[in-house]
Amino acid sequence: MFEKITEIINYIRTKQGKDVIENIKLTDNLRSDLGLDSLDLAELTVRLESEFGIDIFEDGLVETVNEIIEKLKKS
Amino acid sequence: MKYFYSDLVRDVSYLELIKEINQSKKYKFISNHSDYYLIFKDIIVSLLNDSEIVLIDSDLSKSEIYKFNISEYDLNKMIVCDFPDVIDYIDLINRIKNSKNWQMVLFTSGTTGIPKRVVHKLSNLIRMVKINEERGLDIWGFAYNPSHIAGVQVFFQALLNINHIVRLFNLPVEKIYELINKYNVTNISATPTFFRLLKNANIKFETVKRISSGGERFDNKLFNDLQRMFPNAKILNIYASTEFGTLFASKGENFVIKDEFRDKIKIYDSELFVHKSLLGILDENNLMGDWYKTGDKVEVLKENPLTIKILGRSNEFVNVGGYKVLITEVEEYINSIPGVIKSKVYSKRNSVLGSILVCEVEVNDNSLTETKIFNYLLNNLQPYKIPRIIKIVNEIETTTTGKIKR
């Protein structure tokens, strides 16, 4: 699951010409550490939903990689 | 000291603003700065000079600007002014209110893909501005794009009450939290998307007294979330557009139309029409007789007093995080990429932005990938207009007349 998430995050980054982040950490903040803006986060939810069937932003904000994993595991 | 403007890097007082204005006395005719302070200063100087100003987004590409019919010369033009020195902020506000010839040009996405020029007089922009002693203490969290009508209206509401404006738009969420607390922000007006991104179950802002939102679908869930996050705030849902500014406000998702507007709005075939007397000056393309077609589908909940709910756009517009996108314009750009046969852009509901753009593309060049198409669009369109999911498909279904099935 973690690998799939980091793969999607890096896909969203590289699509815009940004670097691949090799060592994404569980505690990384999606915005400040991984540089995702609101459009990127919207895309991330769509890609995660088609992979895992869960909308991570449905009930509230998700800040870190670990919080994504928690949302996906909970449901 | 009375502050005029703050952002992450500086605070500017009214005294400093006036000093700068008196020293330079010039403004950029087409104001497209990425620094909000410079845009606000341009607007104020144009008001003092009682002459026209044009606002456009700072992130527009050359080819997008070209569609606005703006020349390179105009884009860089500075207007040198000749007005007596401003004495203090009282003098500043009095002179601004007396600008008779001033007008502001804004652009809105036109139905043909060509941006539509809308000219606003001061009286139209400040129709809903409330000036009183209590409002004089407001501290505004500025959460709109300053070149859009909602941003301009917040600017005037704040300026005419000599309020402090704190820039919150387009910043990381944690910086927004920090600024609201640092400056004790009391008022925030923003799109539902802005508030959805701000949402956090563990954070409350006690200083905020008024919240207003609009520009895309505002539902009761958002209303409840806002009430939790801003426990001391009055929350208003606002219906407004570039063509007519703010039209109505409500305390939930339903709008009760006030008597004074009752004969100025009409609902025909579930679509909202607004009488032309409420509009800024514009081309007459969307007028049907004396009525302006808003393109917004509404549901009538009650006849007396007239109570309506906005359902969404009726035509080819999609609302992405508060920005109106004309999907046929996006398709035009995609179709101009070598190797693309045709494309279909549509929206998908999204928990972050309200809707997100998705696109299907039919190609005759197998080397075209999602990344290549995305990159091409990144250089030619504002970010919110770019589909975030691009699927290469074998065939896009068309109707018998060759139109894309929607």
Q: Say whether residue B172 is in contact with chain A using an 8 A CB cutoff.
A: yes
CA distance A50 to B404: 25
| Residue B67 and residue B15 in contact, taking contact as beta carbons nearer than 8 Å | no
Of all residues in chain B, the one with the smallest CA distance to A36 is B172
Q: How confident is the model at residue B311 (pLDDT cuts 50, 70, 90)?
A: confident
Cis amide leading into B305 (omega within 30): yes
Which long-range CB contacts under 8 A does B374-377 form with residues at least 24 apart? B374/A15, B374/A16, B375/A15, B375/A16, B375/A17, B376/B337, B377/B330, B377/B333, B377/B334
Of all residues in chain A, the one with the smallest CA distance to B385 is A39
Closest to B247 measured CA to CA, from B221, B277, B224: B277
CA distance B253 to B94: 37
Inter-chain residue contact B321 with A38, CB threshold 8 Å: yes
- What proportion of chain B, given as a percentage, has pLDDT over 70? 91
> Residue B78 CB: number of other CB atoms within 10 A?
11
CA distance B240 to B266: 16
Mean local confidence (pLDDT), A58-70: 86
Q: Which of B27-31, B108-112, B128-132 has the highest mean pLDDT?
A: B27-31
CA distance B362 to B370: 12
| Residue B31 and residue B106 in contact, taking contact as beta carbons nearer than 8 Å | no
Asked whether the predicted pLDDT for residue B285 surpasses 80, the reply is no
Mean local confidence (pLDDT), B239-264: 78
Write the pLDDT tens digit of every residue in B87-116.
Answer: 999 999 999 999 999 999 998 765 555 677
Give the one of B201, B351, B374 whose C-beta lies nearest to A58's C-beta. B351
Q: Say whether residue A53 is in contact with chain B using an 8 A CB cutoff.
A: no
Q: Say whether residue B1 is in contact with chain A using an 8 A CB cutoff.
A: no
Distances (CA, A) of A4 to B17, B106, B135: 51, 44, 51
Asked whether the predicted pLDDT for residue B196 surpasses 60, the reply is yes
pLDDT-wise least confident of B68-77, B161-170, B290-299 = B290-299
Sign of CA dihedral B132, B104, B378, B396: positive
Residue type, B126: I
> Residue B153 CB: number of other CB atoms within 10 A?
22
Inter-chain residue contact A42 with B388, CB threshold 8 Å: yes
Burial class of residue A63, CB neighbours in 10 A (0-12, 13-18, 19+): middle
Mean local confidence (pLDDT), B285-296: 79
pLDDT attached to residue B38: 97
Mean local confidence (pLDDT), B229-241: 87
pLDDT attached to residue B249: 78
Query: A-contacting residues of B 321-340, CB under 8 Å?
Result: 321
Asked whether the predicted pLDDT for residue A41 surpasses 60, the reply is yes
Sign of CA dihedral B129, B130, B131, B135: negative
Asked whether the predicted pLDDT for residue B213 surpasses 70, the reply is yes
What is the interface pTM, i.e. ipTM, of the complex? 0.90
Inter-chain residue contact B352 with A17, CB threshold 8 Å: no
